[in-house]
Amino acid sequence: MTSDAGQPTKPPFYTTLPGALTIIGLLGLVTVVIWLGDRENRARAEEMSVDVTACDLSGSTGTVALEVRNTGADTRTAHIQVEYLDADGVRIDTRSMTARNVPAGGVVAVEESASLDAPAPGGTCRITSVR
C-alpha cells in the first residue's frame, strides 16, 4: 500500500496477523464469560420450583394462582412465564409473572389475572419457564 505522496502506509491493525489473533482472543473471552453467566443462571433457576394451584379461564379473563418454592440457600426472585391454553390445548395467551423475595426454604403464593388475547370458556394454565 502506498499513500498519495508515494510513501508506504501501514495496513490497518485488524488486517494483520496480530490483529486477527487479538480479535479471536477477545471473542473467545466474551464467549466464556457469557457461558459461565448462563450456567450460574440455570443453577439458580433449578433452586426454584413453581406449581399451578388454580387456573380459571372465564371469557376473556384468565386467573392463575401459583405456589413458588425456593430450595436454595438465599432469598430469590423468580420470573415465571405462564401459558393459558383453551380446552383443546391450543395456546390462547402467554404472560409473565414475578414472585419477589421468596425466602430460602420458603414458599410464596402468587396470583394474577390477565386479559386474554382470545376468549376461552375454560382451559388450563401451564408454566413454560422459571428464571
pLDDT at 4: 61
pLDDT at 2: 53
pLDDT at 11: 85
The rounded distance, in Å, linking the Cα atoms of 55 and 11 is 65
Instruction: Provide mean pLDDT across the span 24-46.
Output: 73
How many CB atoms lie under 10 A from the CB of residue 69? 17
The rounded distance, in Å, linking the Cα atoms of 68 and 78 is 8
Q: Using an 8 Å Cβ cutoff, are 8 and 1 in contact? A: yes
Instruction: Provide mean pLDDT across the span 87-112.
Output: 94
- Mean pLDDT highest for which of 43-47, 102-106, 121-125? 102-106
The rounded distance, in Å, linking the Cα atoms of 100 and 71 is 15
Say what the pTM is.
0.66
Closest by alpha carbon to 97, among 62, 57, 121? 62
Closest by alpha carbon to 66, among 115, 5, 129? 129
**Cα within 13 Å of Cα(75), Cβ side:** 6
Q: Does 43 score more than 60 pLDDT? A: no
pLDDT at 61: 92
Instruction: Provide mean pLDDT across the span 89-107.
Output: 94
pLDDT at 105: 94
Q: Calculate the alpha carbon distances from 125 to 3, 65, 68 in Å.
A: 69, 9, 15
